[in-house]
Amino acid sequence: MSGARGRQLLPGQTSRVHVYDMASRTSRLVFESRTVLVEAPNVLDDGALVLNGNGDLWLLPRADGAQVLDETALVPVPMPGVPEINNDHVLDPSGYSVVVSGRDGDLYRVPVPAGGAAATLTDVTTALPVVRKFYLHGIAPDGETLAAIVGERTEAGVWTTDVALVDPVTGDPTFLTRDEHPDDGVSFAGEVLVWNSERFTPGTAQLVALWPGATDPVRITNDDRVNWFPHLSPDGEHLLYLSYEPGVQGHPADQRVELRRLPGVLVRGARIMPVPETLVVLDGGQGTVNVPPWSPDSRWFAYCDYPVGRDSD
């Protein structure tokens, strides 16, 4: 889920985007700005990035070689009729649209790369006694199902977060969890669903997987760190996720975090849980990899960080 629209860069802070090459295990800086805070990259077929910032959606053209782009390179994506959005947006497998989560709780389909009128994807009723909001994190490979976290506030004032599959035509959710355990970041890993949950470790998010036909998720991380936002690479080889220091609550911004990798075979039921590989240590958290950041060929992924000061690398 997303932070408030009012989040701004701190004094001396920079918003940056990097691409990480899996073969060389190296990062390359492709964007930096001291005026615009961007979050949550998706990757288009041509290598351009889709990002959100200031409640809007942006395209960042592919940066070649050593070129580092700035805010002047950002291209706004027209979203007529769509309210301000958060950083939960996912590319449709067709390559012609991105589904975004509005701050009004609804989901919208926006044409990409640009142009055309944005059509309402869902119009979710928020009448009392239940207030419901949808936070999108995944779309099935065939585009026929959305994976979302559904937040609800009941008459008792209790806010719950559950995993649901959403029909992209009707907006109707089919709940896969319906309990008091906080869940977030649900994404597709082929036919498997992966997300972070506190059901096994109250107060500490760990990654879980749910196989087709099953009703109970199983753990796929088991440590004292706080693990969020799992994203399987398109080829199924790499499971990327965001890892906070022990004791962190939620998924706050401006933390010292790690991007970690586990073998993708874990989501298919491997019984041996290997030691995670730390790929990057950075200043970030909220906005770094909230949504699928992989290139279509699985060779690289994009991520954001937010260092303070000029010597933060």
Would you list the DSSP string of 96-152? SEEEEEETTS-EEEEESSS-SPPEES------TT-EEEEEEEEE-TTSS-EEEEEEE
Number of structural domains, the chain? 1
| pLDDT score, position 79 | 87
Overall pTM surpassing 0.95 (yes/no): no
pLDDT given at position 4: 42
pLDDT at 122: 43
Task: Provide the 3-class DSSP secondary structure of residue 60.
Answer: strand
CB 300 within 8 A of CB 231: no
Structure confidence at residue 127 (pLDDT): 37
Asked if the structure places residue 10 within a domain, the reply is no
Kindly state whether residue 233 falls inside one of the protein's structural domains. yes
Q: What is the CATH number of the domain that holds 296?
A: 2.120.10.30
Is residue 5 a part of any domain in this protein?
no
Nearest by Cα to 52 from 4, 20, 119, 93: 4
Look at residue 221 and tell me if it is in a domain. Answer: yes
Pairing, β 238-244 against β 255-263:
antiparallel
Question: Does 124 fall in a domain?
Answer: yes
Tell me what pLDDT residue 269 has: 81
Along the 313 residues of the chain, how does pLDDT read in single tens digits? 444 455 789 999 999 999 999 999 999 999 999 999 999 999 999 999 999 999 999 999 997 778 899 999 999 998 888 889 999 999 999 888 899 998 888 899 888 875 445 555 444 333 334 578 999 999 999 999 999 999 988 777 788 999 999 998 888 899 999 988 999 999 999 999 999 999 999 999 999 999 999 999 999 998 999 999 999 999 999 999 999 999 999 999 999 999 999 999 998 887 777 899 999 999 999 999 999 999 999 999 999 999 998 554 4
Residue holding tokens 């640009």? 114
Does 65 map to a domain? yes
Using an 8 Å Cβ cutoff, are 257 and 285 in contact? Answer: yes
Instruction: Show the domain range for 264.
Output: 15-305
Whether residue 39 contacts residue 56, with contact meaning beta carbons closer than 8 Å, is answered with no
CA distance 225 to 113: 38
| Alpha-carbon gap, residue 20 to 302, rounded angstroms | 6
Answer whether residue 106 is part of any domain.
yes
Is residue 312 a part of any domain in this protein? no
Give the pLDDT confidence score for residue 111 in this predicted structure.
Answer: 87
